[in-house]
Chains A and B, each alone.
Chain A
Amino acid sequence: MASVSDNVMKFFRSSSNQTARPAVPQRRTRRSSGMAEISRLLNSQEGLCVLDMGSTSASNIRFFTGRGHKNYSEDLLRSSLDPALRIQDSTGNTVVDSKKFLDENLVYANAQFDVVLCWNLPDYMEESLVKPTIDRLWSVMKPGGVLLAFFHTRDAGPDSICYRYHVTDTDMLEMQEVKFAPPGRPASDKQSPRLQRVFNNRHIENLFRDFASIKFFLARDAIREVLVVR
């Protein structure tokens, strides 16, 4: 039977079979059509509630609060890797306790958020947590609120780098490779999370079927941006 540690490690890339990467996490920029639409909303209204579900970013806090909006940060990918969420089911397999996960995360009042930035979370999160997380987001978003998510296309390989996103301009994002030490490993043993799956358009439409509308933006870097209206 696999240990909890083994089960957590499947969310990280193996360090043995990957090509050498620079010690300093890579940074690059990309233009984002979805972010441009979000920026138009942020510039047209005041006091919006923004939930950023990526790694904590000072750039993003500056971008949102500087425009008079409220910023909430919650790094859901990191929270989802908490070993305390791993339990054994009746057959002895280790599974993630989605109920406990939602008891401890995304705990907000209904209809609180105008904007939710999901970034690439669904692609890297444990499968059993994805749908419950999206359902919870539906509850905490205001009707008419918008959600931005990025999905890899089939062209992306399994070793696609997991990025965190810093908003640097109204339609420009700086991408920085995410690396953190898996639970139980020394802080120096930082690894990048592994791409868990590739959603096709039908999967994405099903994932957001309770939302009012969905818009796809295709990009050249094997990423589909998805803007969803609650």
Chain B
Amino acid sequence: MDAPQTGELAHIGKSVVIKGELSGSEDLYVDGNVEGKIELRNHSLTVGPNGNVKADVSAKAVVVQGKLDGSVNASDRVDLRKSAIVTGDLTTQRIAIEEGAFLKGKVDIQKEAGKAAGPASS
């Protein structure tokens, strides 16, 4: 899948290596290596097929096609595509997992205030 085409999107290419803390107020697409911490609050993180993220992640939505090692806190949703390899605990309201995705960790579905849970989908 290609990187999402939105108005504001930061793109970390597959030859880029970053160690440290990443924060921002726009969507982020990571196809390279990131180690540390990623905080995007009301925006989304997409880990591309070549992406290798070793970080605790906090974002509105997290889409994983590559490797992610760390805890994920997504206020809206987590989407694990078929090539995803995720090791870490996930906290979110909704989760979608494609066949073939690998997850090793705890899934904590937090109910949206005032709504019944309808959390996971294939």
Asked whether any CB of chain B lies closer than 8 Å to the CB of A186, the reply is no
The answer to whether A71 and B97 touch (CB under 8 A), given A58-B120, A62-B119, is no
Q: B97 — which chain A residues lie within 8 A by C-beta?
A: 56-58, 61
**B83-122 interface mask toward A, CB cutoff 8 Å, 1 = contact, 0 = none?**
1000000000001110111111111110000000111111
Q: B121 — which chain A residues lie within 8 A by C-beta?
A: 58, 62
Asked whether any CB of chain B lies closer than 8 Å to the CB of A92, the reply is no
**A87-98 interface mask toward B, CB cutoff 8 Å, 1 = contact, 0 = none?**
000000000000
Asked whether any CB of chain A lies closer than 8 Å to the CB of B80, the reply is yes
In Å, the complex CA distance between A79 and B104 comes to 10
- The contact size tier of chain A is 20 to 34
Asked whether any CB of chain B lies closer than 8 Å to the CB of A180, the reply is yes
Q: Is the CB of B95 within 8 A of A58?
A: yes
Q: Is the CB of B117 within 8 A of A66?
A: yes
CB B108 to nearest CB in A, in angstroms, measures 7
Tell me whether chain A's interface is mostly helix, strand or loop, or mixed: mixed
Asked whether any CB of chain B lies closer than 8 Å to the CB of A13, the reply is no
In Å, the complex CA distance between A72 and B108 comes to 9
- The contact size tier of chain B is 20 to 34
A:50-71 near B, CB below 8 Å: 56-59, 61-62, 65-66, 70-71
CB A114 to nearest CB in B, in angstroms, measures 14
Q: Is the CB of B100 within 8 A of A58?
A: no
The answer to whether A58 and B102 touch (CB under 8 A), given A65-B107, A65-B109, A70-B108, is no
In Å, the complex CA distance between A74 and B104 comes to 5
Q: Is the CB of A65 within 8 A of B119?
A: yes
The one of A57, A58, A71 in contact with B106, judged by C-beta atoms closer than 8 angstroms, is A71
The one of A59, A71, A75 in contact with B107, judged by C-beta atoms closer than 8 angstroms, is A71
Asked whether any CB of chain B lies closer than 8 Å to the CB of A197, the reply is no
CB A135 to nearest CB in B, in angstroms, measures 20
Q: Is the CB of A61 within 8 A of B109?
A: yes
A-B contact pairs, 7 of them (CB 8 A): A56-B101, A56-B102, A58-B121, A61-B97, A70-B106, A73-B104, A74-B105
